[in-house]
Amino acid sequence: MMKIRTGFGFDVHRLVEGRDLWLGGIKIEHSMGLLGHSDADVLIHAICDALLGAANMRDIGYHFPDTSADTLNIDSKVLLRKTVELIAGKGYVVGNIDATVCAERPKINPHVPAIKACLAEVIGTDEDNISIKATTTEKLGFTGREEGISAYAVVLIERKDD
């Protein structure tokens, strides 16, 4: 018998000048980047929160606090790899991920294949198990004013019962 669980994650970071823009583990050319203690990869952070939530292991801030020197400017791919290892410690593997990035600019859709390939490699799963979508807020709210980018993720994790 297989045990499956689902998790939901959400993250948001402010857009600022003078920072690189990292989304889904890849650097995207843009006039602004996301502000954060790490590289502020909002998509990976939402996925990590969803995975941790599905395994009932709290959230990304609990495991990788933004007060720690160990996580200062860290590549979020490292956090994702460690998150996958954490859930594996409870016997879980990633089943699938469905995530949405919410940004007015830059356009995300041209980068989706590279994001999927990057995430699949970090997680150790097939690209077909990862769905990345993009949307805008029709110029409404902080996203519409291009003050920040948000991301949402839903995941399914699986564990084989002996």
Give 61-71 pLDDT, tens digit per residue: 999 999 999 99
More confident residue, 160 or 33: 33
Mean pLDDT, residues 68-84: 96
Structure tokens at 58: 């709290």
Find out whether 11 is annotated in a ligand binding site.
yes
* H runs (alpha helix) in the chain: 42-54, 60-63, 76-88, 112-123, 141-144
Residue 148's Cβ-count burial label (10 Å; 0-12, 13-18, 19+) is buried
Enter the pTM of the model: 0.97
Show the domains of the chain with their CATH numbers.
2-160 (3.30.1330.50)
Residues in the chain: 162
- Known binding residue 13? Answer is yes
Query: CB within 8 A of 37, min separation 6: which ones?
Result: 66, 67, 71, 72, 73
Predicted confidence at residue 106, as pLDDT, reads: 96
Q: Is 136 annotated to bind ligand? A: yes
87 is in an annotated binding site: no
- How large a percentage of the chain has pLDDT more than 70? 99
Mean pLDDT, the chain, rounded, equals 96
